[in-house]
Each structure stands twice: as structure tokens, then as C-alpha cells.
Amino acid sequence: MSSKAPNTQRRNVTRDRIVKAAAGLLREQGAAAVTTRRVAHEAGLQPPALYRFFQDKDDLLDAAAEHVFAEHVEGKQATAPSDDPVEDLRAGWNTQIGFGLANPYVYGLLLDPARARDTPAQVKGVRILAERVHRIAAAGRLRVSEERAVNLIRAAGVGTVHTLLTLPPGQSDPHLADAAFDAVARAILVDEPAVSAQDSAAVVAAFRTLLPELSGLSKTEAALLDEWLQR
């Protein structure tokens, strides 16, 4: 067996120690606390060792924020779906809002436009949301396209967390997150599963979920039909 394998494993273990140390400092004290000296001390290393794994502090901060968010996403992924896709969406919303409020420093880094990038955890988080929206569409409860619903939910969630984190002391609104979800729900959901042409948008959204199962259509035909339905 190649000697590179143990060396790679040791490097991964050491890098993981560094990231976890940085993540702990970031969560508890913010980006300013993530210094080379403090992270190295927490990880049981000499400060120069960090530069064998990360180019600079920004690189380390990105890895720390990704680590914290990845743990959050794994928890969401482990949650089994219920029989009510709308309630599952609400539960996911509450979990996401709770994460943002409990991790303001991490959330700030993840949403910083200057650092914006699609990390694996962020991509997985959006996919989980899209899957929940897809279940609602399949149930005939969606009045807009799945893409529009996902984007509206994400936009409202970011705005809600940002607002709650920046409200002056004593002016917090404990019901704001629920009100924001209810507003989004009214914009994207129909009250009952679509059963007639009166709910044409919901019918279209539900039908789009069936396209992958229409084996009689070629990929090109399915794509064309999907384009028509979106229009």
C-alpha cells in the first residue's frame, strides 16, 4: 500500500482539527476571534502549521463557516418526511430561521455578497428545500413554479433572519418569522389540492412533477413540454 495514504489521512485529521477549532471560535466570538495564534492553540499546533492547509484567514473562515452549516444541513437531511408536505416546509423554515438566529457570525459570512459561493453544504441545503417544494407541487398545492417557490422562500428566510438580528434591543418581534412564513405560504400555495381548471397554476405545477415519469416522451419532448408549462 502506498505511503501516501497514511500521509493523506494524517493531513485530513489535522485539517479537521483546525477547522473545528476555528468553527468553535467563530460561532462563539465571531470572525475577529479566529486568529492564527488562537486557532493553532485550540488545535494543539504551531501557528505556521495552519498555512500548510489554508492560504489565509479568509480561506480558514470560509472552511469554518462551511463546517458549521454542513452540520446543520445534515440534521435537516436526517429528518424523515411526514404525511403533510406543507407542515414539513414550515418545520424546515423554523429550523433555518433558528439556525440563523443562533449563529449570527456564521450566517453573516455565508450571506456576505463579497464571499458568496455555492459551497457543498449550501447546495445540499437548497436541494433539501427543493425536494420539499417538489412534494407540495406533487400534492397539487403549489400555485407557482417550483423554481419561483424555492427562490421566494430563500429570499424571505434571509430577510427575516437579517431583520431579527438587526432589530434594536427591546424591539424584537417574536412572531415575525411565523408571519413571514404565512405571507410566503399565501403567495405560493393554494388552500386545497388542485381539482379543476380554476386552479390552473396548481394543476400545471403538479403536472410538471410527473414529467420524469412520462416514459413515452423523449428528453427533448419532455424539455419542450416543461418549457410550455412554465410559460
- CATH number of the domain enclosing 50: 1.10.10.60
Both 77 and 148 in one domain: the answer is yes
Average pLDDT, the chain: 87
Give yes or no for a contact between 26 and 71, defined as CB atoms under 8 angstroms apart.
no
Give yes or no for a contact between 168 and 199, defined as CB atoms under 8 angstroms apart.
no
Q: Which three cell numbers stand for residue 231?
A: 410559460
Both 42 and 94 in one domain: the answer is no
Both 75 and 46 in one domain: the answer is no
pLDDT band at 80; cut points 50, 70, 90: confident
Higher pLDDT, 152 or 230: 152
Both 221 and 151 in one domain: the answer is yes
Position 64 in a domain:
no
Q: Render pLDDT for 219-228 as a digit per residue (tens, 0 to 9).
A: 665 566 566 6
What stretches of the chain show up as alpha helix (H) in DSSP? 4-29, 36-43, 57-77, 85-102, 104-111, 120-138, 146-166, 176-188, 200-208, 219-230
Q: Which residues contact 211 (CB under 8 A, 6 or more apart)?
A: 217, 222, 225, 226
Both 42 and 82 in one domain: the answer is no
Residue 169 has pLDDT above 50, yes or no: yes
Q: Which three cell numbers stand for residue 142?
A: 403549489
CA torsion sign for 94, 96, 99, 101 is negative
Position 63 in a domain:
no
pLDDT band at 1; cut points 50, 70, 90: very low
Q: Which of 35-39, 97-101, 215-219 has the lowest mean pLDDT?
A: 215-219
Predicted local confidence at residue 203, as pLDDT: 56
Both 129 and 218 in one domain: the answer is yes
Q: pTM for this one? A: 0.79
Position 61 in a domain:
no
Both 102 and 3 in one domain: the answer is no
pLDDT band at 78; cut points 50, 70, 90: confident
Q: Render pLDDT for 178-209 as a digit per residue (tens, 0 to 9).
A: 999 999 999 999 987 655 445 566 556 655 66
Predicted local confidence at residue 230, as pLDDT: 65
pLDDT above 70 coverage of the chain, percent: 81
Q: How many domains does the chain have?
A: 2
Residue 142 bridge partners (DSSP): 189
Q: What's the DSSP call for residue 213?
A: G
Both 96 and 4 in one domain: the answer is no
Q: Please give the Cα distance from 37 to 43 (Å, whole number).
A: 10
Both 41 and 98 in one domain: the answer is no
Residue 174 has pLDDT above 70, yes or no: yes
Predicted local confidence at residue 113, as pLDDT: 81
Q: At 145, which amino acid appears?
A: S
Q: Which domain holds residue 166?
A: 69-230
Q: Which of 70-79, 101-110, 153-162, 215-224 has the lowest mean pLDDT?
A: 215-224
Burial class (CB in 10 A: 0-12, 13-18, 19+), 136: buried
pLDDT above 90 coverage of the chain, percent: 68
Give yes or no for a contact between 112 and 64, defined as CB atoms under 8 angstroms apart.
no
Burial class (CB in 10 A: 0-12, 13-18, 19+), 159: exposed
Both 18 and 96 in one domain: the answer is no
Position 144 in a domain:
yes
Position 59 in a domain:
no
